[in-house]
Chain A
Amino acid sequence: MLNFISAHLAINYFLLAFVTIVGVLQFVAARHRLIGLTWLGSVRKPIWGYLLAIALIMGAFTWFFLATWEEVFIPGLAGSELVLLFGAAGVCALASTLLVSSILHGVQRREKSDPKAGGRLRHEAVAWQQLKGRLYLPEDTAPLKGEPRAAICILSSPLEAPLSLHPLVADLIEAGFIVLAMDWGSEEEIRYPAVLSLLPIAMAYLTRRNEVNPERIGVLGVGLGGDLAIRSAATDEQIAAVLALAPFLKRANAQPGLGILKETSYLEAIRWASFRRRGKLVAELAPLDYINKLGSRPLLLIYGDQDGITPLAQARAALGEETARGTLKSLPGKGHLSLANSRATSTLAIRWLRTVFSDRPNKFGTYSI
């Protein structure tokens, strides 16, 4: 069945298949804005991706027929040999595409990241009972109009470096909020129902701080943090407002498949998936069952319209009536993993927090930051 009577033709066909499949994957990357597949480092200008794809595909076919024109008109490769060569070339092309794309993505991320960013904000390490994290304070923590500061408890995605939320933290502090960035703890500690104690402990900690107005504590969760924020707020009346950035809502949304390559490189996707209990935790937290139990306390869910992990349409479908009530807002051009680092998110979050806190009377009277 497999004779490969012409080694030259077999090698050339393998190379043809390899290069054309790489070309097709570049076309796919440009068409579906898949960061994890592109060799251009960016998918913002898909035209370059299309041009690269056309060049690779046309170039490979032209080269193949120029190099083997005589050979393709004598008995050559059998059908089974073609299938085998195409399959092997496909595997190699896919592996090369994912690897090169991951390397380029990593280099770009390193160029963009600012290693000193984490040190600029005034903060103190928090280790109180099971609570671990950082408390970020504005330069001036004196009461405003006789009222202590509002505080926001931030819960990022598990195993995600808290520094990745720094732009959001910085913006909240600049707006006058006190921010507690919580740590989920080690991977082994992130289990249901143990995680349900995280936010109540954080609330207890914040209410003991003199700078904090205990009636103005909101929770901001990112990803799974958002799901936990909804669940915890449903049973903790002290949480005055809940802001969830791209919560998963349903277990299926925590298993994104190809969609994650819209957000990050393949190697990063594998790292993201290394936290295997994410889907199970979403199912256990059942945030959709608890949204109605928040009562009159305000809730805002923000999604990026380019979210490849929890697509906006799926979030809308899952939320149903809540969408109509304005609980869900979408931000154009933002993805799941980039949402928390966006200035647009900070602006929307701060505006909303100011509105809901000023709408909610307390013993200090009308609130303004």
Chain B
Amino acid sequence: MMSFDLQLFRLINNLAGRYALLDGLARLLVNEYFLTTTMALILVIFWFEGQDRDQRERNQSAILRAIIALFVANIVLKLCNLIYFRPRPFVNHEVNLLFYHPTDSSFPSNPATVGFSVATAVWLYNRRLGASLLVLATLFGLSRIYCGVHYPLDVIAGALLGALSAYLVVRKGGFIDPLISLIIKTGRRLYLA
């Protein structure tokens, strides 16, 4: 499994340094600012979407659940990091590194967890927008492998963790309904929902 992971890592990471345009694009995607901010801005737009109050409420509920899923996924990720530490690819292998040297555990990928928790939660409500966010989350994960800071297995595990958290929060998180309703009701009173 680990050897397949390494082979796949090499397949992707070996592309780095060959094409300046691809490297530039990967560097734009890999940092913590561009895609996270873009996804957050898409959620802001989604907050206001909807033909009527009911549709808007559904979208707003999706966003709030996505935020909760993100927090849940991050807590689980921190627990995973306490139990298991996997060194970054550049620690034990020669890689094409296009990013700085993160010191925390490689497994599971934090950006993939963040991206997939938000994207999956939205996807469970709105397939089209969710699919767009899943594409962005996938690009985020792939760029981490391309730039040499994550193994593919890290990204897959992060994606699964994020998706599972989102599924549980959306489908099995009925107990947070009162909190969601309270936030939306407050937003409506302030003419913002």
Contacts and interface: CB of A to CB of B under 8 A. Distances in A.
B44 A32 contact: no
B100 interface: yes
Interface stretch (A38-46, A69-77, A319-327): A69-77
Interface stretch (A148-156, A196-204, A254-262): A254-262
A106 interface: no
Interface stretch (B27-35, B129-137, B156-164): B27-35
Contact of A20 (B41, B102, B110): B41
B33 A16 contact: yes
B37 interface: yes
Contacts of B31: 72-73
B191 A260 contact: yes
Given A24-B44, A258-B193, A16 B37 contact: yes
A194 interface: no
A334 to B, nearest CB: 18
Contacts of A266: 191
Q: Which residue, B34, B36, B44, B188, has most C-beta atoms of chain A within 10 A?
A: B44
Contacts of A259: 53
B114 A258 contact: no
A244 B88 CA distance: 70
B83 interface: no
Looking at B31, B37, B52, B187, the one whose CB has the most chain A CB atoms below 10 A away is B37
Contact of B191 (A20, A25, A79, A269): A269
A28 interface: yes
Contacts of B32: 72, 76-77, 79, 82
Interface string A1-44: 00000000000010011001100110110011010100000000
Contacts of B189: 255, 257
Contacts of B37: 16-17, 20, 61, 86
B56 interface: yes
Given A20-B41, A57-B41, A257 B53 contact: yes
A86 B40 contact: yes
B110 A28 contact: no
A65 interface: yes
A352 interface: no
Interface of B: 27-28, 31-34, 36-37, 40-41, 44-45, 48, 52-53, 56, 74, 99-100, 102, 110, 114, 187-189, 191-193
